[in-house]
Structure 1
Amino acid sequence: MSTATPEATMPTSATPHEPSTPVPGSTTRSAAAARERTAVLEDLIARNPGEYRVLTGDRPTGALHLGHLLGTVGNRVRLQNLGVEVFLIVADYQVITDRDDAGDLPATVREVLLDYLAAGLDPERSTVFTHSAVPALNQLLLPFLSLVTVAELERNPTVKAEAEAALLRQKRGISGLLLTYPVHQAADILFCHGNLVPVGVDQLPHLEMTRTIARRFNQRYAAARPYFPEPDALIAPSTTVLGSDGRRMSKSRGNALELRATEDETVAYFRRARTDADRVITYEPERRPEIANLLQVGAYFTGTSPEVLADEVGSAGAGRLKTVVTEAVVEGLRPLRARRRELASAGPRHLAEVLAQGNARANAIADRTLDDVRTLMNMRY
Structure 2
Amino acid sequence: MPTLKERLYDEWALKAELTQDGVSVHPEVLRRIALGSAAQETVNCLFSYNRDLAAEIDVPPYFILPHGLIALFHVDRRSDWRLEHDGRGFFVVDSDGRAVPVRFPERPGYYARQTSDGTPMRTVAVHNSDDVIFVAYSNECSLQATSRDCLFCNINATARKYGDVQGVKWKYPRQIGETVAAAYAEGARHLTISGGFVPERREVEYYLDVADEIRAATGLDDFNGTACIGAPRDLDVIAKYREAGYRTLAINIEVWDEHFFRAYCPGKEQECGGRDHWVRALEHAVGVFGRGRVRSNMVGGLESKATTLEGIEILSRKGVVAMSPGWIPNPGSALEGHRSPEPAWHLDVARKTYQIYRQVGFTFEQVYDATAVPQTLVHDLYRIEEERLPVFAEERAKEAVAA
**TM-score with structure 2 setting the length:** 0.27
Greater RCO, CA 8 A, separation 6+: 1
**TM-score with structure 1 setting the length:** 0.28
Larger C-alpha radius of gyration, 1 or 2? 1
